Amino acid sequence: MTAKTEITSLKNLEYLPYLDDSGSIIEDLQGQIGVYAIFNSEKVLQFVGYSRDVYLSLKQHLVRQPQHCYWIKVQTIARPSRTILEEIRQNWLEENGVTPLGNSSDEAKWNSAIDAKLAMSEAEKAEYEKGMELEKIKLLKKVARRVEEEVQEQLKNRGVQMELRFNPKLKEQGLLDLK
């Protein structure tokens, strides 16, 4: 017989700061399987997700949505079970009463790589359209680097101190995601 995982109510979990005093995500969450809720600075729920490594997921969300990541609540489980994780996530969303934008219309902003192509100027778009394959890759990398600098500046302003490395291969496609 396996023990049933107890689902803790979202309101009964403690708010934890997204970043600790050293400007890092709580390292105890590394390698932890669980469900997490992300709140903005006013403690309004922004997103509920689950992961096999809560720390890595929180790191990705911070890079993608730094202006919305101020507080978290987490429930970890001992063994991976998509069924249990989904059940906890669903309970939390229902308990909140309103589906946060991060779990509806803004879901891609929370779960997908940053699309630097959206930041292309009209001149860059025109250059991209007429360029050969190698020129297109160079332009995408240039735009991705510019967007990366903007993201790094936002994170620095938030007090982030931990090292964040972006996947260089994705920059060739105009995408930014952590390595």
How much of the chain, in percent, has pLDDT values that exceed 90?
93
Rounded Cα–Cα distance for residues 158 and 143 (Å): 23
pLDDT in tens, 139-152: 999 999 999 999 99
Q: What is the CATH number of domain 10-111?
A: 3.40.1440
Average pLDDT, the chain: 94
Banded model confidence at residue 2, pLDDT cuts 50, 70, 90: very low
pLDDT in tens, 30-47: 999 999 999 999 999 999
pLDDT in tens, 4-38: 668 899 999 999 999 999 999 999 999 999 999 99
Q: By three-state DSSP, how is residue 1 classified?
A: coil
CB 61 within 8 Å of CB 17: no
Other CB atoms within 10 Å distance of the CB of residue 17: 11
pTM, rounded to two decimals? 0.91
Rounded Cα–Cα distance for residues 53 and 30 (Å): 6
The confidence score (pLDDT) of residue 4 equals 60
